[in-house]
Amino acid sequence: MSVEPGAGSIAAEKKARKPFLTRSKKKALDNKPQSLGEQVKEILLIIFYALLIAFVLKSFVVRGFFIPSGSMENTLEVNDRVFVNRAGAMFGQAERGDIIVFEDKKEWIPDTGASQGAIRNALAFIGVLPDASENYLVKRVIGVGGDRVQCCSADGKVTVNGVAIDETYVKEGVNPSDVPFDVIVPENSYFVMGDNRSNSADSRYHIESNTAFINDSDVVGEVFVVAWPLSSFTLMNGDSEVFEPVSAGS
């Protein structure tokens, strides 16, 4: 009996083919219960990616902070949770009126030795929890590089480049400053003050020690929202209009 050329190889190929799976059969296989090990692996992967996303957001987009003191009242209250714009600090500079969070590299705050705890520090570092450490301060930018900032004018106001500022954000009943000063802000630096001037150890109190000016590189970001408590939810605009009459410094 004759055999057509190639018939044997075709038969072998058909025999080697996997059985065709219908959509219903595939679905049944996909719904096969996972083992305990597979479930644990999946949960760990979800946690890992969630932490990675939180870290990226904290490093390059937004970062959360607790407000620990009353130096920015009534704009920011104690225990408010705020978020800062990281991208703005990385690719631009702060402007007069902006509320910024900056790292305390000038050591304005004495070291108390207090610790949040290892777990909380780790979660704050990743970005899961707002940072409540004492290594950061929040103040308002009053002067930028080249500005001459003085206090006080004849009517008791702070002046920037000779223009008296009507600081509507200063806590009611508090003077713009009880401390006289006259400074010129270095380039790429900021002169900052708290809105609660009677309870804010800001740039005014560090002039003699040559640590009054905050370097642009130390700025974490600009506060753009008070997120918690919900009753205090506020989008911040920086109050830049207060400084509109001010011309550029030297």
* Euclidean distance between CA atoms 67 and 99, whole angstroms: 12
| Catalytic residue list | 71, 139
State the pLDDT at residue 149: 97
With pLDDT > 90 as the criterion, what percentage of the chain qualifies? 46
Band of the pLDDT at 134, cuts 50, 70, 90? low
Condensed to tens digits (0 to 9), the pLDDT of residues 139-151 reads: 999 999 999 999 9
State the pLDDT at residue 173: 92
Q: Poorest-confidence range of 9-23, 74-88, 91-105, 203-217?
A: 9-23
Q: Hey, what domains does the chain have and what are their CATH numbers?
A: 62-113+133-243 (2.10.109.10)
Band of the pLDDT at 125, cuts 50, 70, 90? very low
State the pLDDT at residue 85: 85
What the block records as the tokens of 62 is 């937004």
Condensed to tens digits (0 to 9), the pLDDT of residues 183-213 reads: 999 999 999 999 999 999 999 999 999 999 9
Q: Does an H or E element contain 60, and which? A: helix 36-60
* Euclidean distance between CA atoms 196 and 212, whole angstroms: 18
Helices and strands in the chain, H and E counts: 5, 12
Residue 86 has pLDDT above 70, yes or no: yes
Band of the pLDDT at 128, cuts 50, 70, 90? very low
State the pLDDT at residue 66: 87
Residue 165 has pLDDT above 60, yes or no: yes
The mean pLDDT value for 101-117 works out to 75
With pLDDT > 70 as the criterion, what percentage of the chain qualifies? 70
Decide if 97 contacts 114 (C-beta within 8 A): no
Condensed to tens digits (0 to 9), the pLDDT of residues 29-38 reads: 556 677 777 7
pTM for this one? Answer: 0.70
* Euclidean distance between CA atoms 146 and 124, whole angstroms: 35
Encode burial over 106-120: b for 16+ CB neighbours within 10 A, e otherwise: bebeeeeeeeeeeee
Strand 189-193 to 213-215 pairing: antiparallel
State the pLDDT at residue 123: 47
Band of the pLDDT at 164, cuts 50, 70, 90? very high
